[in-house]
Amino acid sequence: MQRKFRLTRSTDFKRVRYKGKSYAHPFLVLIKTSNQESITRIGVAAGKSVGNAVKRSRAKRLLRAAARDLYPEIISGHDLVLIARKPIIPVKMPLVRDALHQLLQRANLLNEL
């Protein structure tokens, strides 16, 4: 995912965490809030509860790849934070993509085609 489409500052993560609305799935948590820009920015996080550094990195890679696949369908003007949960570790990519798609639908963030 290109840098302009990512949340990178900790202040942005904190703003989304505290002001946003969250949607949970066993594999991940989606938190959304609106922004003042014409693009949607996505940040990915995995805490130590997910596992060691190798497991956290894999979880973040899976979430980034799923977000990259679904990004064209997402409505612009939002900041999203994706937080990995421990059950994501043994899961393959299609299931992560489906989980993210379900959360985006619940959050009304998908374009109507």
**Average pLDDT, rounded, for the chain:** 92
Helix (H, G, I), strand (E, B) or coil at 88: helix
Chain segment 21-34, per-residue pLDDT in tens: 999 999 999 999 99
Extended beta strands in the chain, E state = 21-24, 28-34, 41-45, 78-84
Query: 72 — phi, psi (to 5°)?
Result: -60, -25
Cα distances from 68 to residues 1, 3, 19, 26, 55, in angstroms, run 6, 12, 24, 20, 20
User: Model pTM?
Assistant: 0.92
Give the whole-angstrom CA distance, residue 66 versus residue 60. Answer: 10
The residues, any chain, with a CB within 8 Å of residue 39's CB and separated by 6 or more, are 4, 5, 76, 77
Are the beta carbons of 44 and 67 closer than 8 angstroms?
Answer: yes
Helix (H, G, I), strand (E, B) or coil at 38: coil
**Would you state the pLDDT for residue 113?**
59
Q: Among 26, 36, 14, which Cα is nearest to 81's?
A: 14
**Would you state the pLDDT for residue 71?**
92
